[in-house]
């Protein structure tokens, strides 16, 4: 592991990255339940976490994760029906949520079918009420899994948008990304209060932006504004995504 602006773990390829990600998910879940009686995780969409998600529905993770004490939230969501391929919730259901023994009430999809403003408010209420007295604490989610886009966005926090400057709201609606859709996204005030924040990046196409995010302090990418208040930041990369980090 390399120590820097967060730690960096480099795996040989996308399958090893998925396996390491699933191990981190499972270990963090067990540690959180031992320490606080529950595990609250916020997951991302996009293609990179899908290998990790699929592993969670298989042993040893199927048996090792304390699913009955796990609550799943989303970092962001595209405002499409849940049976649309662009739905982060819909894909996560297919990849693992339909196949693990998690109580249905522990799955907290973003309300993508509501008008975006109302949906953001509703989700903010839901996470605030989940974290109750912990509202002003340094730590909210036990684990947040993030991706990074080739433009440096993370969650649905896109370069140049006002959502990057949000200081109060925990959830906002935005338009952008690929696919270019209206989306709901968590904001820095909640993301930066994660206990463990893990970026996943895989493949050559991410090498340039990963290099920039980790080595160029001037570039002010949305992903670089993930700076945990007191939590730990980890970049979990495969060799291709990490290929421009040396030197």
In the complex, the residues that contact ligand 6PG under the rule CB under 6 A are 44-48, 75-76, 88, 147-149, 153-155, 177
Q: Give residue number: closest CB to ligand 6PG.
A: 147
Our CB check for ligand 6PG shows the closer of 43 and 140 to be: 43
For residue 78, the cross-strand partners are: 183
Q: Is 154 in contact with 199 (CB distance < 8 Å)?
A: yes
Which residue, 155 or 210, has its beta carbon nearer to ligand 6PG? Answer: 155
Sequence-separated (6 or more) residues with CB below 8 Å from residue 246: none
Minimum Å distance from CB 101 to ligand 6PG?
Answer: 26
Q: How far is the CB of 183 from ligand 6PG (least distance, A)?
A: 7
For residue 48, the minimal CB distance to ligand 6PG (Å) is 3
CB nearer ligand 6PG, residue 69 or residue 199: 199
Residue closer to ligand 6PG by CB (options 125, 205) is 205
The nearest distance, CB 225 to ligand 6PG, in angstroms, is 13
In the complex with ligand 6PG, which residue's Cβ is closer, 69 or 73? 73
Q: CB of 133: closest distance to ligand 6PG in angstroms?
A: 29
- In this structure, what are the phi and psi dihedrals at residue 184, rounded to the nearest 5 degrees? -110, 140
Question: How does DSSP classify residue 216?
Answer: -
Rounded to a whole number of angstroms, the distance between the first and last alpha carbons of the chain is: 17
Q: Which of 51, 37, 229 is nearest to 140 (CA)?
A: 229
> 210, 235 in Cβ contact below 8 A?
yes
In which region does residue 152 sit, left (phi positive, over 0), alpha (psi from -120 to 50) or beta (all else)? left
* Rounded-to-integer distance, Cα 120 and Cα 184, Å: 6
């Amino acid at each position: 592991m390399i120590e820097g602006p967060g730690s960096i773990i480099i795996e040989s390829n996308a399958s090893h990255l998925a396996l390491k990600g699933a191990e981190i998910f499972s270990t963090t879940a067990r540690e959180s339940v031992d320490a606080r009686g529950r595990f609250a995780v916020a997951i991302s969409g996009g293609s990179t976490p899908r290998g990790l998600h699929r592993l969670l529905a298989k042993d040893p993770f199927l048996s090792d994760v304390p699913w009955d004490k796990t609550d799943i939230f989303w970092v962001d969501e595209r405002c499409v029906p849940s049976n649309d391929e662009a739905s982060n919730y819909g894909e996560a259901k297919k990849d693992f949520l339909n196949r693990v023994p998690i109580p249905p009430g522990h799955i907290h999809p973003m309300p993508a079918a509501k008008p975006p403003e109302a949906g953001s408010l509703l989700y903010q209420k839901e996470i605030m009420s989940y974290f109750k007295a912990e509202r002003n604490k340094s730590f909210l989610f036990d684990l947040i899994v993030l991706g990074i886009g080739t433009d440096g966005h993370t969650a649905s926090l896109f370069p140049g948008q006002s959502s990057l400057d949000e200081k109060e709201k925990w959830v906002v609606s935005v338009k952008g990304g690929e696919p270019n859709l209206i989306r709901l996204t968590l904001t820095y005030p909640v993301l930066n209060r994660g206990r463990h924040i893990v970026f996943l990046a895989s493949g050559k196409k991410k090498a340039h932006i990963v290099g920039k995010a980790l080595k160029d302090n001037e570039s002010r990418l949305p992903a670089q504004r993930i700076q945990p208040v007191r939590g730990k930041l980890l970049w979990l990369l495969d060799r291709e995504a990490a290929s421009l980090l040396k030197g």
